[in-house]
Amino acid sequence: MANSDFDLFSRRMITFGLLDLLIMLLIFSTLSFTESSIILGLSLGFGFFSIFYGLIVVIGFARRSNQYELKLANFLSFVSGFFLIIGGIQFLIAILANDLILSLQSILLILLANSTRKRTLTLRHPKFISWYRKEENSASILSANEVFATCPSCNSLLAVVPKLLTIEDKCPHCNRYLVIREEE
């Protein structure tokens, strides 16, 4: 069961990695409207290098090449910072220009930065690294009734027994509830 959970998570990471690269490409393509050729050349050069490197890292991760889980985590940390900076700059511009659409776009980029940062926590988790590298002891990490699950708040990787999980159980990392409560 744990291997299929990790397989599903890996496929999601590949999908999200490609989507992040597409968003970066869209952001860099909007820079073609600038008047300065030096800024345009530097930003497009940096953008194409970043996207090319990211594509190599995502493909390496998909092939389960050595150390690519950490390279993907580092690249996603960079992408998270990039989205946060661009989102912050766009938010300042939106406030100064009184532009509602740009402010919504900047808020979405900031939320995307936070989501991307949270995914790196699972990629750096020792149990995921052990599974990714196909280490011998990776299959014996769980007890008989345990499964891997992620916290809905901080995306930490946890081993839980589903039958014993209650709505009062909290994550040991963020101290938030593990079971999502619905408002009545």
pLDDT tens string 161-174: 888 888 888 888 78
Tell me the β-bridge partners of 159: 148
User: How far is it, in rounded angstroms, from Cα 169 to Cα 141?
Assistant: 21
pTM for this model (two decimals) = 0.70
CB 147 within 8 A of CB 159: yes
User: How far is it, in rounded angstroms, from Cα 170 to Cα 150?
Assistant: 12
pLDDT tens string 33-69: 667 777 777 877 888 899 999 999 999 999 888 888 8
Contacts of 144 (CB under 8 A, 6+ apart): none
